[in-house]
């Protein structure tokens, strides 16, 4: 993938955050298969909750789209999240002996709650450009992480987490992330500096939450009270 213009600039500003994501022990454990199952289970439950809210954001983006191609892009991302990503979680839970009701009944941990509120605020109160800037770190970040782990030869066919890497290196997922980056570049082109600063802030905040989501899953961080 080769994002250009605005996305290249904000990706560069987020480089240290994204580097720390890739080096996080949770991510490394996904890659080499050593991630403890209890941490992955916690991640599955929290990410399932996250994806449920993520679907609302894509639906709102589709409704706010100014043209049919943009509407189609977000409708496609919504469909892929509902039918592919969330099914990946359900399949893993089935292998782990976790009932689907456990996914549905799980309560959001602090970072899950905060991250989804950040995204929902952008979706409800912001423009289509705000939404694209806020969700791109998740889409593009997962594609980059999975691609890096695949290049390193991690997550081989015998790894419990090979399906996770395969899902996020698939053509459908990587092309969706690329199209989203291209859309953000097109929407950001010609915007005044003040608006670009807002988009940058949304992108960087989401990048920080991406890191914190891995950290939350590694430490099994829940509400203290």
> DSSP state, 85?
I
Could you confirm whether 210 is annotated as catalytic?
Answer: yes
Q: Between the CA of residue 7 and those of 26, 101, 222, what are the distances in Å?
A: 26, 39, 33
CA distances in angstroms from 206 to 64, 104, 133, listed in the order given? 20, 24, 9
Determine whether 138 is an active site residue.
yes
Q: What is the DSSP secondary structure assignment for residue 33, as one 8-state letter?
A: S
Q: Closest Cα to residue 203, out of 5, 4, 9, 62?
A: 9
Chain centroid to Cα 202, Å, comes to 14
Catalytic residue among 45, 93, 138, 144: 138
Return the active site residues. 138, 210
């Amino acid at each position: 993938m080769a994002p250009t213009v605005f996305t290249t600039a904000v990706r560069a500003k987020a480089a240290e955050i994204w580097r720390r994501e890739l080096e996080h022990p949770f991510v490394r454990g996904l890659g080499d298969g050593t991630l403890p199952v209890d941490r992955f289970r916690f991640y599955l439950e929290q990410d399932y909750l996250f994806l449920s809210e993520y679907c609302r954001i894509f639906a709102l983006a589709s409704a706010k789209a100014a043209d049919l191609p943009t509407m189609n892009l977000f409708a496609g991302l919504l469909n892929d999240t509902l039918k592919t990503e969330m099914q990946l979680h359900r399949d893993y839970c089935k292998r782990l002996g976790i009932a689907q009701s456990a996914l549905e009944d799980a309560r959001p941990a602090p970072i899950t709650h905060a991250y989804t509120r950040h995204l929902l605020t952008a979706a409800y109160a912001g423009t289509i450009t705000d939404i694209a800037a806020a969700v791109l770190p998740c889409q593009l970040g997962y594609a980059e992480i999975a691609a890096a782990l695949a290049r390193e030869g991690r997550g081989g066919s015998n790894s419990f987490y090979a399906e996770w890497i395969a899902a996020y290196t698939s053509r459908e997922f990587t092309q969706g992330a690329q199209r989203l980056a291209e859309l953000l570049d097109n929407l950001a082109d010609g915007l005044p500096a003040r608006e670009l600063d807002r988009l940058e802030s949304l992108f960087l905040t989401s990048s920080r939450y991406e890191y914190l989501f891995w950290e939350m899953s590694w430490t099994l961080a829940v509400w203290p009270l």
